[in-house]
A and B are shown apart, each in its own frame.
Chain A
Amino acid sequence: MNTFFQTLIVGLRLGSIYALVALGYTMVYGIIRLINFAHGDFIMVGGYTMIFVMPLMLRLGLPAWLGVLAAIVVCALVGMGTELIAYRPVRRKGTNMTALITAIAMSLFLENLAQAIPAIGPNPKVSSQIFGNGGFKLGTVTMEYTTVITLVISGIVMLVLYAFTQRTRLGRAMRCVSEDKAAATLMGINVNSTILLTFGIGSGLAAIAALMYMAQYPKVYTTMGALLGLKAFVSAVLGGIGIIPGAMLGGIVIGLVESFTTSYISSSMADTFVFLILIVVLIIKPAGILGKNVGEKV
């Protein structure tokens, strides 16, 4: 029973991170139908920003996690910069596929640029403790507060995003753009600035994800976003991409699958089972767990 609880907690811990990252993915994908491969690297940008800002915060007598504010700003700027410099010109000229290539190139660029900056370099950096230790007992196993906080933050972010896209003018504009760009333009929506805003919000979310990631896994390195981003994207697809609650659900499912595979099946085959679950779900329900199957119009 202990093993079960332990595995559950590890799964939730991983899953809460995946969910938070997946929310950013799904946000961007929902609007412009682009797998933003660079999203994982925005997390890396946020992580390094906090590594540099946190000592400053501590010196000022503020809690370390306030560094996330700086990270949000930096990430949002990097995200919007990427959209302005790389994605927008390509979107105007090219196809979906060229946009995808640009995203891959951007991801490569950010990872290697970080390595080339002397203050960052290839050596990983370890952050200082962000939140205090502690937790409550579940059987004999401890559920850490950090995990709970991450889950709560993911939940709040999910609700806020959901409310934002459903209730506000800007959110409605976003949904409009994702449905039909031409029609949105006709309705007087500035498509470009809406997409820019989406990137700003999505990248800002990456900074929050970076904070929660570092609180539990306090290591930052230049390629940290690659596998994390991939798994988060898989989570988003599993839950039904473009659907905000789906990202959260998908993230937690992927985290649990990974953890339970490690404990009960084979510790070195966790990746296989994560992707196997994805494949099975997609074959049974091609639009993801929460997605609706839309018949194709002829």
Chain B
Amino acid sequence: MKSKKLISVMIALCMLLSLGITGITATAFAADDPIVIGVISPNTGTLAAYGTGIVTGVQLAAEEINAAGGILGRQVELVITDDQGDPTECLNAFNSLVAKGVTLIIGSATSGCTSAITDAANEEEVCILCPTGTADSLTTEDDYIFRACYADSFQGAIAAAYAKQAGFEKVGVVYCAADVYSKGLFDSFSKACEEYGIEVAASQSTASLDVQDYTNQFAAMVSAGVDFVYAPYYYDVIGPYVVPQARAAGYTGIIMGADGYDTTPDYVVAGADLTVFNDVYWTNHYDPGADSEIVRSFVAAYEAAYGSIPSAFGATGYDCLYIYKAAMEAAGSADAGDVRDALADTSTVYECVTGTFSLDESGTPVKGAAIISFQSDGSAVTSTLVDVVTQLP
């Protein structure tokens, strides 16, 4: 009885003490110490698929960099933390990283989580490079925040421009009202449509990303008589749910999406009629089937390491570390302030898996979008590059 109580008191004390210790260990890093880079991502919970994608990408890059001699002669050490997709946990993870003395951070996966730490990062003067947070506002106001992906306003507008170019005057939209990514793309798409003089004839939404049935939404598209539907969702609903159900509902027109469609061919129902995936288009950072050396070697290395094809999360995570590397080498230092100045230099060109680009004043990549279509002969789905758009019309 007594020993049990003693143990529980001891454990409680240990926990309290370690809370203090987390901060005390923060010390200045000497020149030969490894460069510590923090990663914040949702590694468990409902968004775990995104987080593990980012972490595997960053880890692969770190292994490659370390094997090649590191950055500025110093090895890279990763501190991986989990935010479970929750803003509060994201802020906690950020604070504990900063308390440990980490000043370069990659994270987080979603705009919601990242926006919880952007101002804290400015206050603490810590660099944040966000792999997949697409909300426009993430980087605009902040000095220490950069990202490796498109902003929503660009990607949605590209899709609208494509619709215009293809001669559609009436389009429809199906999106998720409760998801920042989907909603953000919907907003920018409909805004661009207005600019281009395209009528958004039908707009349907779903309550959450857990919705299984999209038939009614697409039936509404059919009755509105549109032949072009913008459906910004992720691969895990596009493959099994959205496209087959849209076709079953009698919708035969074009379905257009964004980078969330990447890796959809791995999430289709084997044995079902896959010709439904014809006439599905999407915008992406890069063409996974492209012949560029850097993409090929990345995909091969990723497959060798993890036994699966990298998702867009893996690719942008991988790029983040290489962008940091380029910035540190340009700055000649791993100090957060110097790295920030290097990243803020809009003339630097980064050659990455997700394209060759520079960062604009706000810290968002300036790069073209690849428009890709799915093709299927019935047994498998393949992606084909349709067009590369570098500038908005």
The short answer to whether A and B are in direct contact, CB under 8 Å, is yes
Chain A residues with CB under 8 Å of chain B are: 2-3, 6-7, 9-10, 13-14, 112, 115, 121-124, 126-129, 133, 140-142, 144, 217-219, 221-223, 226-227, 259, 262-263, 267-271
Please name all residues of chain B whose beta carbon is closer than 8 Å to the beta carbon of A259 when the two chains form the complex: 213, 216
CA distance A222 to B216 in the complex (A): 26
Please name all residues of chain A whose beta carbon is closer than 8 Å to the beta carbon of B178 when the two chains form the complex: 268
**Cβ B272 vs Cβ A133 within 8 A:** yes
**Cβ A13 vs Cβ B267 within 8 A:** no
**Cβ A218 vs Cβ B217 within 8 A:** no
CA distance A9 to B250 in the complex (A): 14
**Cβ B273 vs Cβ A133 within 8 A:** yes
Please name all residues of chain B whose beta carbon is closer than 8 Å to the beta carbon of A262 when the two chains form the complex: 213, 216-217
Q: What is the CB-to-nearest-CB distance from A209 to chain B, in angstroms, rounded to a whole number?
A: 13
**Cβ A129 vs Cβ B241 within 8 A:** no
| Interface: B268 (CB within 8 A) | yes
**Cβ B272 vs Cβ A129 within 8 A:** yes
Q: What is the CB-to-nearest-CB distance from B259 to chain A, in angstroms, rounded to a whole number?
A: 17
Please name all residues of chain B whose beta carbon is closer than 8 Å to the beta carbon of A219 when the two chains form the complex: 212, 236-237, 240-241, 267
CA distance A14 to B245 in the complex (A): 13
**Cβ A268 vs Cβ B206 within 8 A:** yes
| Interface: B165 (CB within 8 A) | no
Partner of A142, one of B51, B205, B241, B248: B248
Known: A6-B249, A10-B215, A122-B49. A218 touches B269 (CB 8 A): yes
Residue of A nearest to B217 (CB): A267
Chain B residues with CB under 8 Å of chain A are: 43-44, 46, 48-49, 51-52, 176-178, 204-208, 210-213, 215-217, 219-220, 223, 236-237, 239-241, 248-250, 267-273
CA distance A203 to B389 in the complex (A): 53
The 4 closest A-B pairs by CB, nearest first: A122-B48, A129-B271, A128-B270, A268-B177
**Cβ A7 vs Cβ B267 within 8 A:** no
CA distance A222 to B237 in the complex (A): 15
Chosen A-B contacts, 9 in total, with CB atoms closer than 8 Å, are A3-B223, A10-B216, A122-B43, A124-B236, A227-B210, A263-B216, A267-B206, A268-B178, A271-B208
Please name all residues of chain B whose beta carbon is closer than 8 Å to the beta carbon of A129 when the two chains form the complex: 269-272
Q: What is the CB-to-nearest-CB distance from A273 to chain B, in angstroms, rounded to a whole number?
A: 10
**Cβ B272 vs Cβ A267 within 8 A:** no
**Cβ B219 vs Cβ A3 within 8 A:** yes
**Cβ A270 vs Cβ B207 within 8 A:** yes
**Cβ A268 vs Cβ B207 within 8 A:** yes
Please name all residues of chain B whose beta carbon is closer than 8 Å to the beta carbon of A133 when the two chains form the complex: 272-273
Please name all residues of chain B whose beta carbon is closer than 8 Å to the beta carbon of A263 when the two chains form the complex: 216, 219-220
CA distance A219 to B44 in the complex (A): 19
**Cβ A126 vs Cβ B269 within 8 A:** yes
Q: What is the CB-to-nearest-CB distance from B53 to chain A, in angstroms, rounded to a whole number?
A: 8
Please name all residues of chain B whose beta carbon is closer than 8 Å to the beta carbon of A10 when the two chains form the complex: 213, 215-216
Please name all residues of chain A whose beta carbon is closer than 8 Å to the beta carbon of B213 when the two chains form the complex: 10, 13-14, 217, 259, 262
10 more A-B residue pairs beyond the given contacts A122-B43, A128-B272, A263-B219, with a C-beta to C-beta distance below 8 A? A6-B219, A6-B249, A123-B49, A142-B248, A219-B237, A259-B213, A263-B216, A267-B207, A268-B178, A268-B206
CA distance A217 to B212 in the complex (A): 7
**Cβ A227 vs Cβ B223 within 8 A:** no
CA distance A7 to B210 in the complex (A): 19
**Cβ B215 vs Cβ A6 within 8 A:** yes
Please name all residues of chain A whose beta carbon is closer than 8 Å to the beta carbon of B269 when the two chains form the complex: 126-129, 218
Q: What is the CB-to-nearest-CB distance from B202 to chain A, in angstroms, rounded to a whole number?
A: 10
Please name all residues of chain B whose beta carbon is closer than 8 Å to the beta carbon of A2 when the two chains form the complex: 219, 223
CA distance A267 to B270 in the complex (A): 30
CA distance A213 to B134 in the complex (A): 33
CA distance A276 to B223 in the complex (A): 28
Q: What is the CB-to-nearest-CB distance from A87 to chain B, in angstroms, rounded to a whole number?
A: 25
Residue of A nearest to B236 (CB): A124
**Cβ B44 vs Cβ A115 within 8 A:** yes
Please name all residues of chain B whose beta carbon is closer than 8 Å to the beta carbon of A126 when the two chains form the complex: 239-240, 267-270
Residue of A nearest to B237 (CB): A219
CA distance A112 to B239 in the complex (A): 25
**Cβ A123 vs Cβ B52 within 8 A:** yes
Known: A263-B216, A267-B217. A221 touches B206 (CB 8 A): no
Please name all residues of chain A whose beta carbon is closer than 8 Å to the beta carbon of B271 when the two chains form the complex: 128-129
Please name all residues of chain A whose beta carbon is closer than 8 Å to the beta carbon of B237 when the two chains form the complex: 219
**Cβ A7 vs Cβ B216 within 8 A:** yes
Residue of B nearest to A124 (CB): B236
Please name all residues of chain A whose beta carbon is closer than 8 Å to the beta carbon of B241 when the two chains form the complex: 217, 219
Q: What is the CB-to-nearest-CB distance from A210 to chain B, in angstroms, rounded to a whole number?
A: 13
Please name all residues of chain A whose beta carbon is closer than 8 Å to the beta carbon of B207 when the two chains form the complex: 267-271
Please name all residues of chain B whose beta carbon is closer than 8 Å to the beta carbon of A13 when the two chains form the complex: 213
Partner of A221, one of B236, B250, B272: B236
Partner of A267, one of B216, B240, B268: B216
User: Of B52, B178, B207, B267, which is in contact with the most chain A CB atoms at under 10 Å from its CB?
Assistant: B207
Please name all residues of chain A whose beta carbon is closer than 8 Å to the beta carbon of B217 when the two chains form the complex: 262, 267
CA distance A123 to B211 in the complex (A): 17
Please name all residues of chain B whose beta carbon is closer than 8 Å to the beta carbon of A123 when the two chains form the complex: 49, 52, 236
Q: What is the CB-to-nearest-CB distance from B313 to chain A, in angstroms, rounded to a whole number?
A: 11
Q: What is the CB-to-nearest-CB distance from B203 to chain A, in angstroms, rounded to a whole number?
A: 9
Please name all residues of chain A whose beta carbon is closer than 8 Å to the beta carbon of B250 when the two chains form the complex: 140-141
**Cβ B249 vs Cβ A124 within 8 A:** no
Residue of B nearest to A263 (CB): B216
Residue of A nearest to B266 (CB): A126
User: Of A7, A217, A226, which is in contact with the most chain B CB atoms at under 10 Å from its CB?
Assistant: A217
